[in-house]
Structure formats: structure tokens, C-alpha cells
Amino acid sequence: MGFLRRDDDDVADNPQTDAGAQPQTLAPAEAPHQATYEAGSLAGIPESGRERIERMKQEVARGFFTSDLSVNEFLLVKQSGFEPLGLVLGSSIYHIGFQQAGWNQSQELGVLTQAMYHARELAMTRMEEEADQLGADGIVGVRLDIGRYEWGADLAEFISVGTAVKHRGGELHRAPNGRPFTSDLSGQDFATLLRAGYRPVGLVMGNCVYHVGRQGMLASLKQVGRNVEMPNYTQALYEARELAMERMQREADELRAGGIVGARIIERSHGWGSHVIEFFAIGTAVVPTTGEHEIETPAMVLPLTG
């Protein structure tokens, strides 16, 4: 039995032990613990960040903003009735531990699943709290990134960045839970969604860190030179993806969403070794704004360049 941890050399089994690490598997329908959002809170924002927020409030009052939107995105967001307020971000540097797993056992590594989810949720919550300080209705163009640094092999920085926006007409577009809505849609897709009679209510996600058990020597020898399915690998990856998707859909249900758009699954090992993979599902939960939805007829556009 080995221990799985972050490892730059991509070694999955390591003889080191951790007295606090115990095998843990989350129930199939169980979502990892979410960070607590408090309206008006600045608890997770450092002093320099608070000073930046205060300066941004003054800049918003005189009509100045900072944004990572492209020119086209900026114009379409404004055309949709929203004004950009400023660039907001959240960060969490998290120590990713390790967990026991059998050499030939396929199972979810619940401790690592929880750690990866909680770190992202902390970053997202701090970004939302910054947007709340600016009086924003939501955040568009959200990006979730993970960075690693040489000075911390077992550390990962989880960063969320987006542009805070507010509806020009004063309509409240926040999520049903009172938090500013979040969306990873581009400015073009955001504008198209609104024109079609839908609006985003939140960026929803689900994850699953899974150890794919190795096949026994005898079974491997029987398959030499044959075209045959590897059922143990098939079932392991299938189950891991399903768990991540199910948890993402559960978050959307909690927001009383009508559906999820732009959903995708990202697979990464994060240096745990070739047999440990995180399946991360993410998408934008949406709700209808009207009972009738009219999809605009696409217009033909011809380039003027030669």
C-alpha cells in the first residue's frame, strides 16, 4: 500500500507516511464542503486588497474601471445593459496532502477531492466578496487557474479572476442565494444568453480525485497482443467522471437553475502520479428570464479584408 502525494517526479507510490491521512471516500451524491459566503465580509482579503477595493470604489464613482474583457466583449456587455465596475480576484494557497490507496485498488481519494474543491471555493468566495464590496450584480469572464511554485512543491495557488458588472437599469441580477452571479462565459456568449431570454446565476463545479488501480500481472499477460477492452480502467474513469458531473449538477440544483451551459470536464494529475487523476467539471448555471424564448436568426457577415 502506498501514499499518494504531489510529486514533481511523477511517482505515485511513496513510502512516507502521514499519521493524519486516512482513507476516505465521499458518497456518490455527496458534494464537498463549500466555503461560507458572508455579504459585506472582507475576512479573507488581505490589507493590500482592501485598500485596492477602497480605491476601486472611488474610481467607480467617477466612471473609471479596470477589466480583462476584450474590446468586443466590453461593447457587448455594455449593449446588454451592464456596466463593468472593476477587475476582482480571489486567491488561496493550499497545501495538498496525500492519502493511502491500494496499488491495485480503484477508488476515490476523498481527502484530496475535498482539498481541491475547498481551495477553489475559497478563491471563488473571496472574489465574490470583492464584487459585493463594489455593489456588483455579478462577475463575467471568470477564470479559475492553478499555479505551482518552486519554493513549495506541495503547495498550489488557486486563483479566480473576473470582471464585476452591475445592471444599468438597477435590476437585481444576483443569484437566488444573494451572492453575485458568476459566469465563465465570454462577453459574446453572455450577451447572446441574455438576448435569448436567459441569465446566469452561478458558476457551478464538481470534482473527483480518483486512483486508478493497476492491473495484475496475470491479467496483463492474458491481454498481450490482443485488441480487448480494459474493463478496470474503463469503469474507474467512467465512475470518476460521473461523480464530478453529478456534483456539478447538484450545485446547479441548489441554485434552482434551469440548466448548465458551457459545461466541460478537465482532467489533470497535478503531479500525484500517472494513476491519480482529478476530474473537474465546470459550467455556468442559467435560469430563464421570460416564459418565451426567441432565438435570433444568424446574420451573414463578410470580412472586408482581402
Give per-residue pLDDT as tens, 203-225.
Answer: 999 999 988 876 655 655 555 66
Closest CA to 207 of 305, 301, 281: 281
Residue 118 pLDDT > 50: yes
Closest CA to 126 of 170, 157, 83: 157
Residue 99's identity, in one-letter code, is: Q
Residue 4 pLDDT > 70: no
Query: Whole-angstrom Cα distance, residue 296 to residue 190?
Result: 15
Q: How confident is the model at residue 11 (pLDDT cuts 50, 70, 90)?
A: very low
| Residue 141 burial class via C-beta count within 10 angstroms: exposed 0-12, middle 13-18, buried 19 and up | buried
**30-34, 106-110, 157-161, 251-255: which range is least confident on average?**
30-34
70 against 29, higher pLDDT? 70
Give the model confidence (pLDDT) of 84-116 as tens digits. 999 999 998 887 776 665 556 788 888 888 988
Give the up-direction half-sphere exposure of residue 279: CA atoms within 13 A in the CB hemisphere: 23
Q: What is the mean pLDDT of residues 224-239?
A: 74
Collapsed DSSP state (helix, strand, coil) of residue 156: strand
Q: What is the pTM of this model?
A: 0.77
Q: How far apart are the two ends of the chain, measured CA to CA in Å?
A: 64
Closest CA to 198 of 215, 210, 181: 181
DSSP assignment letter at 218: H
Mean pLDDT computed over every residue of the chain: 80
Please report the pLDDT score of residue 94 as a whole number.
83
Please report the pLDDT score of residue 10 as a whole number.
38
Residue 2 pLDDT > 50: no
What residue spans define the domains of the chain? 33-288
Query: Whole-angstrom Cα distance, residue 183 to residue 261?
Result: 10
| Residue 29 burial class via C-beta count within 10 angstroms: exposed 0-12, middle 13-18, buried 19 and up | exposed
276 against 39, higher pLDDT? 276
Query: Whole-angstrom Cα distance, residue 65 to residue 62?
Result: 9
The superfamily (CATH) of domain 33-288 is Hypothetical protein apc22750. Chain B (3.30.110.70)
